Structure 1
Amino acid sequence: MRFILTALLWLLATAALAVALPGAWAQKNLVDVDGYAAFTEQAAGDEALQRAVAGELTTQLVRLGYTGDQDLLRDVASVYTAGADFPGQFAEANRFAHRWLFSDTIAAGEDPQGRWVVDLAPMLQDSSFSATLERFDISVPSTLPVPLTQNAPDSVRPGQLRAVATWGPWVSVGATILAGVLALLTLASARSRGKALAALGVSGLLIGAAGWAGLEVGQRYLDDALANTSNDVRQIADALIRHAADSMHQWLNIALAAGIGLVALGVLVAVLGGLRQRTVREPG
C-alpha cells in the first residue's frame, strides 16, 4: 500500500512538473508583457533579425512614397538596426503585437481587418531616418501597423489569449508549488529516501527529454502558421522562434542536469543507507 501511494505521488509530482516548467518559462518570456519585451530586446541582437527588420523598414518607406535609391535606404536602415537604439524600439514595437493578442483593448492604429500586426512607426521616426525622410518629403504616421500574417487563422485573433494573461500567473505559480509539495510528499512516503530521490531525478530527465522532443514537433506547426508571411517578416519570426527555442532549451537543460544530480544523489543515499543497515546488523 505504501509503495502504491509513493508511486502515485511520484506520478502526480512528475505531471505537475511537466506543467510547471514550460508554464513558468512561458509566463516569464511570453505572457508577461514586460518579460516579452525583454525577450524581444535580447533577440534584437540577432544579425539575421536586424537584416530582416532593415528590409521591412525599407519596404514600408517605399510604400510611404520613397522613390530614391532603395539600396541606400536599406544601408541607412541597416545602420539603425545595428545601433544601440534598435533593441529597445524593437521591444516597444513588440509590445504592440503583444497587446493585440493578449488584451481585448483596441488601440488606435490597429489593423481594421483584425490581422496580427506590429507597429513600426517608432522605428521609422528614429533620428537615423529623419534626414532621409525629410529629403524626400515623406511624413511617417504616428502609427504604422504592419501585418505579421495576411490570413490569420481563427485561433489567432485580437484578444484571443487574454484569458491566458489573466490565469497564466496563477497556473504557473500553482503548478510550481504543487510540484514541490508532491515531491516532498513522495520523499516522506517512500521507504527508501535514496530511491525516491532517484525517482524524482528520473522525473526531471523525462521532462527535459520530452521538452526537447516537443520543441521539435512544435516547430512544424509554427512553420505552417507563418506560411503566409512576407519574406522579411518570416525571417524576423524565425529569429524570434530560434531565440525562444534557445531560451527554452536552457531551461530544459537545467531540468536534465537537476535530474542527473538527483539520480546520482539518490544512488549515493541508497548505497550509504545500505551500508549503514549492514553495519547495524553486523555489530563489531
Structure 2
Amino acid sequence: MRSLLALLLWLVTTALLAVTVPALWTQHHIVSVDGYSDLAAGAARNPALQQPMAAELTAQITAATGTSGTQATLIGAAANAYTSSAVFPGQFAAANRVAHRWLFTNDAQGQWVVDLSPMLADSSIRQTLDGFGVQVPTSLQVPVTEDASGGLRPGQLRPVALWGPWASVGVAVLTVVFALLALTASRRRGRMFAALGVSALLVGAAGWAGIEIGGRYVDDALNRTTDNVHAIADVMVTHAVGSMHMWLNLTLTVGGGMVIIGVIVSLLSGLGGSRQDDVPATRKR
C-alpha cells in the first residue's frame, strides 16, 4: 500500500513539474513586462533583427515625409547605423513595452501598433534627419498585424497578467510539496530521489518535443504580421525559443544529477544494510 501511494505521488509530481517549468518561463519572460522587455532587448542585439528594423524605420520615415532617391538612401544608412548602435536594444525594449501593454492591460485601445517615434528622437538618428531637413512626425505608429487586430483585442490577456504570477508560484509550491510527500512515503528514498530525477528528464525531453510541435502554430501566427514586422517577430520568437531551450536543458541537467545522486544513495544504503545483516552471523560463530 505504501509503495502504491509513493507511485501515485510520483506521478502527480511529474505532472505538476510538467506544468511548472513552462508556467514559470512564461511568467518570467512573457507575462512580466520587465521580463518581456529584457527578452526584446536581447533579441535586438541580433543583426538579423537590426536589419529589418532599419528597413521598417526607413520605409516609415520616407512614407511620412515623402522623401525619395538619394535622400531616402541616406536615411536608410542612418537607420542602419542607429539599429547597430548600443542604444537601440534599450529603445527597442521600450517600444515593446507598449505592445505588451496593448495585450496585457485593459487601458489599451484601437489596433495593435508600435510607436516608433521614441526611437527617432534619439540623437544618433535625429541629427542625421535634421541635416537632411527631414521633419519626422511626433507619432509614427506601425501596425503589428495586417488586419485590424489579427484576432486579438486590447487587454485580452489581462487575466493572464493578473493571475499568472499567483498560478506559476502556486504550481511550483505544489510540485515541491508533492515531491517531499513522495520522498516521505517511499521506503527507499534514494530510489525515489532518482525517480524524481527521471521526472525532470521526462519533462525536459517532453518540452523539447513540445517546442518542435508548437512551431507550426507559431508560424501561422507570424504569417498574420506585416513584412518587416514578420522578420522582426521571427527573430524574437527564435530568441525566445533559445531561452526556453536553456530552461529545459537546466531541467535535464538537474534531473540527471538527481538520478546520479539517488543511485549513489541507494547503493550506499544497500551496502549499509548488507553489513548490518552480516553482524549477527559473525557473533553466532
Please report the TM-score for the alignment, with normalisation by the length of structure 2. Answer: 0.93
Distance in structure 2 (CA, Å) of the matches to 1:52 and 1:228: 17
Q: 1:5-16, aligned counterparts within 5 Å?
A: 5-16=5-16
Instruction: From the superposition, tell whether residues 125 and 233 of structure 1 become closer, same or farther in structure 2 (CA, over 3 Å).
Output: same
For residue 187 of structure 1, the aligned residue among 156, 169, 183 is 183
Structural mapping, 1:159-178, within 5 Å: 159-178=155-174
Match of 2:4 in 1: 4
More moved, 20-29 vs 142-151: 142-151
- C-alpha distance in 1 between matches for 2:127 and 2:187: 75
1:1-284 matched pairs, under 5 angstroms: 1-65=1-65, 66-69=67-70, 70-106=72-108, 112=110, 114=111, 116-151=112-147, 152-154=149-151, 156-283=152-279, 284=282
Q: CA deviation at 1:183?
A: 0.6
Look up the SS of the partner of 2:225 in the other structure: coil
CA distance in 1 between partners of 2:278 and 2:237 (Å): 61
Structure 1: distance between partners of 2:178 and 2:135? 60
Structure 2 unaligned runs (5+)? none
Q: Which has the greater radius of gyration?
A: 2
Q: Tell me, in whole angstroms, the C-alpha distance in 2 between the residues paired with 1:158 and 1:128.
A: 33
Q: Secondary structure at the match of 1:282?
A: helix
Render the CA deviation track for 1:162-201: whole Å, top value 9, x for unaligned: 0000000001111111111111111000011111011101
8 Å contact from structure 1 (residues 80, 86) kept in 2:
yes
Q: Contact 1:125 / 1:140 at 8 angstroms: preserved in 2? A: no
Provide the rounded CA distance (Å) in 2 between the counterparts of 1:138 and 1:18. 54
How much does 1:274 deviate? 1.2
SS in 1 for 2:114: strand
Query: If the length of structure 1 is used for normalisation, what is the TM-score?
Result: 0.93
Which deviations, in whole Å up to 9, do the C-alpha atoms of 1:128-166 show, x marking residues without a partner? 222343355543333322111113443x22111100000
Work out the percentage of aligned pairs sharing the same amino acid: 51
Which whole-Å deviations, capped at 9, do the CAs of 1:233-272 have from their partners, x for residues lacking one? 1111011011101111111001000111111111111111
Question: How large is the RMSD of aligned CA atoms in angstroms?
Answer: 1.5
Q: Does the CA contact (< 8 Å) of 2:113 and 2:144 recur in 1?
A: yes
CA shift, 1:68, in A, is: 4.2
CA contact (8 A) 1:64 1:138 kept: no
Q: How far apart, CA to CA, are the structure 1 residues paired with 2:242 and 2:234? A: 12
Instruction: Tell me the amino acid that sits aligned with residue 52 of structure 1.
Output: P
Counterpart Cα distance in 2 of 1:143 and 1:164: 30
